[in-house]
Chain A
Amino acid sequence: MPLKVLIMKVRGFFLTFMIVIAGVFIAVSCITDTDSGILFIPREPVIEPDYSGVTIPPNIAQLNFRILEDGVYFTIKCFSPDGRDLFSIKSKNGIVRFPSRLWTKLLTENRGRSVRFEISSINNDGKISKYIPVTLDISNERIDPYICYRLLYPGYESWSEMQIIQRSVEDFRESVIFDNRVMKNNCVNCHTFLKYDPGKFFLHVRGSLKGTYFIENKDLTRRILRTDNMTSNAVYPAWHPGGRYIVFSSNAVVQSFNMIPGKRIEVYDQTSGLVIYDSEYNKISAIEEKDTTEYMDTFPCWSPGGDYLYYCRTNQVKESFDFSKIKYNLVRKVFDQSSGLFGETEVIFKAEDIDKSVTLPSISPDGNYLVFTLHDYGTFSIWHKEADLYLLDLTNGRINRMTLNSDESESHHAWSSNGKWIVFSSKRSDGITARPYFAYFGSPDNVGKPFVLPQKDPDLYEKLAKTFNRPEFVSGKVVAGPRDFARASKDEPAYATWSETTR
């Protein structure tokens, strides 16, 4: 017998032996322990939302969940890394709600460590099942205490209720910043904060009370950021860290409805260009005139120092264009803050070369990383199932698909003020409604498993048909409320003027 054949036979025998051993092990581990009457199930219990193995900040609200296993009674025991029994909770319906006091203690005492939850269930016959424990990694890095998002139906053309909500991520308190019920059912979008400051932000209102509302604590001003020189409204913003300038893309947006199963809506631009708004003098200028005719530019984003403006660019579409051939590249321009002038456009990532389209760039506060959304074509990633988040390491130009993605659309994203957390919209739960997910960011190779914004009622996402749009971190509580907007809407708006230069 040749040696090669002998080796193969031994290998085959060894593999068979290992499979048999593994099978026996699984079978044994599933068999009831006759002494204790406990059935050990060699897997983690299914819980919804899926918080198993996630990395969480030390100031996050309770990760309440529902156990999706058979049973009429459940026990959840929490253990510290050294095996100390921290507390236990009982549940009759599988819904696990952590008491606030215990939860805070758990996070405070176990920062930088892993805790595990042992879940057991009792069925109708009194038989007990135990599962592999669920672990949680508690990070040392805190997260910003609030997020703001737009809450609305993920619909097509019509809207009814539309709100901008601020939600504490440290507990379940939420309050309404903007509510269109007191704004004649107008549409609201693009809430943008200046460097996480809850006292300084703006948003667009479309409709009879139209305008861009600038908020400085409780003072609101209504401005119209459109002049005759612009073909469309000011849409996607990027607030310069200096606070004076805001770059907007001015987009002529079109919406169409796909008829093939699996696709719903395609939103695309017919034209789009960048303009810069000087909030001190209420004037708007074009960033580069030829850009508006040769290219379509959109989704501006400043580098943290304010020296570079990143944005997405594609060629201007012609009449009867094929929307599936629109591919945006990631580009940037240098910006001279003293003169207010921009330099030449520089291509950072030519996505069209790999037949993809880049949208929604955002840069980490330390300026080292840029996250963007990559999808097959076009500009509206939220309706693209294949849309995923990618990380560009600005220090070496390396691009990687992030591990936090799912099979459904990942789109809008934002960095926390310490750069350690990313919040992003994901439709992974049902493919339709976006939910805010958080992921720990240690380095490009150390990204935590994402977890959804915890809710007091763990079933909320199952029931709620509304979508959480454009989640943004905020460092404190916003004091302005819906009635402030209603009051400001009665003021005459200040119309921005057009200026040929930014100076």
Chain B
Amino acid sequence: MNIKIDFLKLIQQACTNKEIIAGKSIYISLGLLLIFSLSYFFWFGNGLFFYQENSMLFIFYGEYLRKYLMSPGGLLEYIGNFITQGYFSRIYGSLVITLFLLIFGGLFIRVYKLLETGKSVWLFPVLIPSCLLFLMQIRVDHYIFHTLGYILVTIYLLISIIFEKRRLNVLTLVLFPLFFYITGSFALIFLIGYLSYCLLYKRGTSRYLLPGSLILTSFFTFFLFEKVLFLQPAGHIIRYPLSIFETARLYAGDSILCSYIIFFPLIVRITGFLKSDKRFSILFSQISLVIVLSFTLLLSKNLYDPEFADYIKIEKLYCEQEWDKIILQHEQIPSKSLTGQYFYNLALTEKGQLCDRMFFGNQDYGAKSLVLPRESEYINRSVYFYYAVGFINEAHHLAYESMVKYGYRPENIKMLAKTEIINGNYKSAERYLGVLKKTFHYREWADRYIRMLYEPAIILSDPDLGEKIQLQPRRDFFISQNDAANIDFMLLANPDNKRAFEYKMAWFLLEKDYKSVVYQVKRMKDMNYQGVPRHIGEAIILFIDSKQELPYLGDFAIGSETENRFIQFKETLEMSENEAEFKKIMDTSLGKTFWYYYEFK
């Protein structure tokens, strides 16, 4: 009898130990996820904070809220935007994302415990959703409202199971329209997930009655929303903010996570069967932890896009007007992207060094990196060229198009405010500044410009705005699709626009048209050039070398320093046995010349 009792105690103790180990494993795994997520988003993936914070503008204004209240799911995006507005701080961003990942994980543990009658939690199924969400979060177009949507679905699933266990099913049905309104299409994930739960875990009439009632409720809600309450097309109500029924529109991560939530009751049921063999339970739990986390680590490495991170970093610096840092960044760690090189050229323009320094950094796209197309993905960035060169109306036009197409964003509203101030439309500028004044992060920026309104002298003395006023055309012309022609029009309308002139020269240089560069040199005297910019000088030397004639340069002359460098360049070129060897040598200062670009790009 005693032996029997001891044996039972031994089994009980063993079971308790397993629970302790399993519990510890959960904390360890969540702790690891916390460290990993914080580190990743703080040091590597922080580009998404700038990207997302710049793709919306949260305004503390009733009308802004009203816009979101007009659509089911809008409130979710509104809350998401409220959270996202703090993304200008990467500490805040990393903490928010990590916190939500842990909450998501914690919710799955709770659901698991409710579904599985045994007390221990198997790590494998509850860790996957958080890891999946982490991987999805790496993608820049996965916003915090998406994460919130998944969290709310899990919360509602959890609450519904609790209601069901307490025989309060009617509350699930009653609250569903509200849930649909708040979460929009995310409610449909819950709907299917709850159906799968009922079919697997319910017996008797409630197995079909409950799902049937919920389906009816959801249909009723949908028709109420579509036909009576909201002026939104049916497709929008089903798809917004996540189109779960169109797999073509869904990213793989969303498809997997949606399916995972829907089939979670089934997954728990299956793991329940496997777990019944307690001999391997702990071992399997530990192994699964290692596998899931390693896999997450591996995938996160693959999903990380260094090129994107690079140009987002440069764009951020551009928005902060950190010209020197952009120049340094590109010259030390050359950006391979078109946008990165575009911003490098713009930063040089802002510093007045375009034709002095443009070949110090990589120029892999020819003249394309001077002006981005005024369409689709580039529309929000192409505006900067027009602003920098004095096409203020076009900068305003593009910023306005961006506002109409993509809604209020910090950069388009800032650009609209600045261009209106430059053009003297203070009343209109006031409206845009009023918008920024009602934001958390941009109110100080707005204050600075509000103080300038109706004060032309102060505006003129502002280094940025004052300069742009001087660069504006003095005669009218229509902007064309051809930007090389636009630069010519600008130079006709304002012959003193030095930036337009340098862009014209840079265009020729990048097109390797050194003859055209030489023909333009005589214009430089009227533009108060004190000397020939470095790369223009290099183009002149190349002209002299190839044509064996001295061009007319007006009052300008090429210094002996440039000539000596060219001699050195040619000697190095002749002495090098092969192209590879030459390129290696050219990593030195001789590589930062128009000659090198001309020969090898």
Decide yes or no whether A432 CB sits under 8 A from chain B: yes
List A residues 250-299 near B (Cβ within 8 Å).
Answer: 256-264, 266
Min Cβ gap A134→B in Å is 22
Decide yes or no whether A181 CB sits under 8 A from chain B: yes
Cβ-defined partner of A259 (8 Å) among B400, B431, B493: B493
| Interface mask (B394-407 → A, CB under 8 Å = 1, otherwise 0) | 10110011011101
From B312-320, B446-454, B469-477, the one touching the partner chain is B469-477
In whole angstroms, what is the CA distance A266 to B397 when docked?
13
Min Cβ gap A184→B in Å is 8
Q: Is the interface of A mostly helix, strand, loop or mixed?
A: loop
Residue pair A182, B405 in contact (C-beta under 8 Å): no
Q: Which residues of B contact A430 (CB under 8 A)?
A: 425, 427-428, 431
Residue pair B231, A155 in contact (C-beta under 8 Å): no
Q: Which residues of B contact A257 (CB under 8 A)?
A: 393-394, 397, 478-479
From A157-165, A332-340, A354-362, the one touching the partner chain is A157-165
Min Cβ gap A177→B in Å is 12
Residue pair A179, B393 in contact (C-beta under 8 Å): no
Decide yes or no whether B423 CB sits under 8 A from chain A: yes
In whole angstroms, what is the CA distance A431 to B393 when docked?
15
Decide yes or no whether A153 CB sits under 8 A from chain B: yes
Cβ-defined partner of B489 (8 Å) among A176, A179, A259: A259
Residue pair B233, A182 in contact (C-beta under 8 Å): yes
Decide yes or no whether B12 CB sits under 8 A from chain A: no
Residue pair B473, A181 in contact (C-beta under 8 Å): no
Min Cβ gap A450→B in Å is 18
In whole angstroms, what is the CA distance A57 to B319 when docked?
51
Q: Which residues of A contact B404 (CB under 8 A)?
A: 153, 155, 158-160
Cβ-defined partner of B397 (8 Å) among A156, A176, A262, A432: A156
Q: Which residues of B contact A433 (CB under 8 A)?
A: 428
Decide yes or no whether B232 CB sits under 8 A from chain A: yes
Decide yes or no whether B424 CB sits under 8 A from chain A: yes
Cβ-defined partner of A258 (8 Å) among B63, B425, B478: B478
Residue of B nearest to A266 (CB): B478
> For chains A and B in complex, what number of residue pairs have CB atoms within 8 angstroms?
94
Min Cβ gap A353→B in Å is 25
Min Cβ gap B527→A in Å is 20
Decide yes or no whether B134 CB sits under 8 A from chain A: no
Min Cβ gap A269→B in Å is 16
Decide yes or no whether A463 CB sits under 8 A from chain B: yes
Residue pair A259, B232 in contact (C-beta under 8 Å): no
| Interface mask (A427-441 → B, CB under 8 Å = 1, otherwise 0) | 001111100000000
Decide yes or no whether B595 CB sits under 8 A from chain A: no
Decide yes or no whether B222 CB sits under 8 A from chain A: no
In whole angstroms, what is the CA distance A184 to B232 when docked?
10
Q: Which residues of B contact A445 (CB under 8 A)?
A: none
Q: Which residues of A contact B493 (CB under 8 A)?
A: 259-260
In whole angstroms, what is the CA distance A339 to B473 when docked?
56
| Interface mask (B457-489 → A, CB under 8 Å = 1, otherwise 0) | 000000000000000111111110000000001
Min Cβ gap A490→B in Å is 12
In whole angstroms, what is the CA distance A261 to B423 when docked?
6
In whole angstroms, what is the CA distance A26 to B403 when docked?
49
Residue of A nearest to B71 (CB): A181
Decide yes or no whether A486 CB sits under 8 A from chain B: yes
In whole angstroms, what is the CA distance A384 to B577 when docked?
67
List B residues 44-63 near A (Cβ within 8 Å).
Answer: 61, 63
Cβ-defined partner of A463 (8 Å) among B236, B434, B489: B434
In whole angstroms, what is the CA distance A160 to B489 when docked?
32
Residue pair A155, B400 in contact (C-beta under 8 Å): yes
Decide yes or no whether A82 CB sits under 8 A from chain B: no
Residue of B227, B404, B422, B472 most packed against chain A (CB within 10 A): B404
Given A182-B231, A463-B434, CB of A259 within 8 Å of CB of B476: yes
List A residues 124-155 near B (Cβ within 8 Å).
Answer: 153, 155
Residue of A nearest to B486 (CB): A259
Decide yes or no whether A462 CB sits under 8 A from chain B: yes
Cβ-defined partner of B401 (8 Å) among A155, A182, A184: A155
Decide yes or no whether B392 CB sits under 8 A from chain A: yes
Decide yes or no whether A102 CB sits under 8 A from chain B: no
Min Cβ gap A239→B in Å is 28
Decide yes or no whether B391 CB sits under 8 A from chain A: yes
| Interface mask (A420-455 → B, CB under 8 Å = 1, otherwise 0) | 000000000111110000000000000000000000
List B residues 381-432 near A (Cβ within 8 Å).
Answer: 391-394, 396-397, 400-401, 403-405, 407, 422-425, 427-428, 430-431
Given A160-B404, A258-B476, A259-B493, CB of A176 within 8 Å of CB of B393: no
Residue pair B434, A259 in contact (C-beta under 8 Å): no
Q: Which residues of B contact A176 (CB under 8 A)?
A: 231
Residue pair A157, B393 in contact (C-beta under 8 Å): no
Residue pair B231, A156 in contact (C-beta under 8 Å): no
Residue pair B427, A431 in contact (C-beta under 8 Å): yes
Min Cβ gap B71→A in Å is 9
Instruction: Bin chain B's interface residue count.
Output: 35 or more
Min Cβ gap A482→B in Å is 6
Cβ-defined partner of A261 (8 Å) among B393, B405, B434: B393
Residue pair B427, A259 in contact (C-beta under 8 Å): no
Residue pair B63, A463 in contact (C-beta under 8 Å): yes
In whole angstroms, what is the CA distance A348 to B61 when docked?
51
Q: Which residues of A contact B396 (CB under 8 A)?
A: 264
Residue pair B401, A259 in contact (C-beta under 8 Å): no
Q: Which residues of A contact B490 (CB under 8 A)?
A: 259
Decide yes or no whether A465 CB sits under 8 A from chain B: yes
Residue pair B427, A429 in contact (C-beta under 8 Å): yes
Q: Which residues of B contact A482 (CB under 8 A)?
A: 231
In whole angstroms, what is the CA distance A431 to B391 when docked?
20
In whole angstroms, what is the CA distance A33 to B205 when docked?
87
List A residues 471-489 near B (Cβ within 8 Å).
Answer: 482-483, 486
Q: Which residues of A contact B489 (CB under 8 A)?
A: 259
Residue pair B423, A262 in contact (C-beta under 8 Å): yes
In whole angstroms, what is the CA distance A482 to B391 when docked?
40
Q: Which residues of B contact A256 (CB under 8 A)?
A: 478-479
Residue pair A431, B63 in contact (C-beta under 8 Å): no
In whole angstroms, what is the CA distance A262 to B407 when docked?
25
Given A158-B405, A429-B427, A430-B427, CB of A263 within 8 Å of CB of B397: no
Residue pair A263, B63 in contact (C-beta under 8 Å): no
Residue of A nearest to B392 (CB): A261
Min Cβ gap B15→A in Å is 59
Residue of A nearest to B422 (CB): A261
In whole angstroms, what is the CA distance A261 to B465 when docked?
14
Min Cβ gap A421→B in Å is 27
Residue of B nearest to A185 (CB): B233
In whole angstroms, what is the CA distance A483 to B493 when docked?
51
Q: Which residues of A contact B397 (CB under 8 A)?
A: 156, 257, 264
Min Cβ gap A427→B in Å is 10
Residue of A nearest to B405 (CB): A158
In whole angstroms, what is the CA distance A145 to B427 when docked?
31
Q: Which residues of A contact B233 (CB under 8 A)?
A: 181-182, 184, 486
Min Cβ gap B306→A in Å is 33
Residue pair A259, B478 in contact (C-beta under 8 Å): yes
In whole angstroms, what is the CA distance A408 to B401 when docked?
23
Cβ-defined partner of B424 (8 Å) among A181, A261, A264: A261
Residue of A159, A257, A433, A482 most packed against chain B (CB within 10 A): A257
Residue pair A260, B393 in contact (C-beta under 8 Å): yes
Give 29 A-B contacts (CB < 8 Å), ordered by A residue: A153-B400, A153-B403, A153-B404, A155-B401, A155-B404, A156-B400, A156-B401, A158-B401, A158-B405, A159-B404, A181-B231, A182-B232, A182-B233, A256-B478, A257-B393, A258-B476, A259-B394, A259-B478, A259-B479, A259-B490, A260-B476, A261-B423, A263-B393, A264-B393, A430-B425, A430-B431, A431-B427, A465-B431, A483-B231
Additional A-B contacts beyond A259-B478, A260-B477 (8; CB < 8 A): A156-B400, A156-B401, A258-B393, A259-B476, A259-B489, A261-B422, A264-B397, A430-B431
Interface residues in chain A, defined as those with a beta carbon under 8 Å from any beta carbon in chain B: 153, 155-160, 176, 179, 181-182, 184, 256-264, 266, 429-433, 462-463, 465, 482-483, 486
Task: State the 4 A-B residue pairs at the shortest beta-carbon distance, nearest first.
Answer: A260-B476, A430-B427, A256-B478, A261-B423
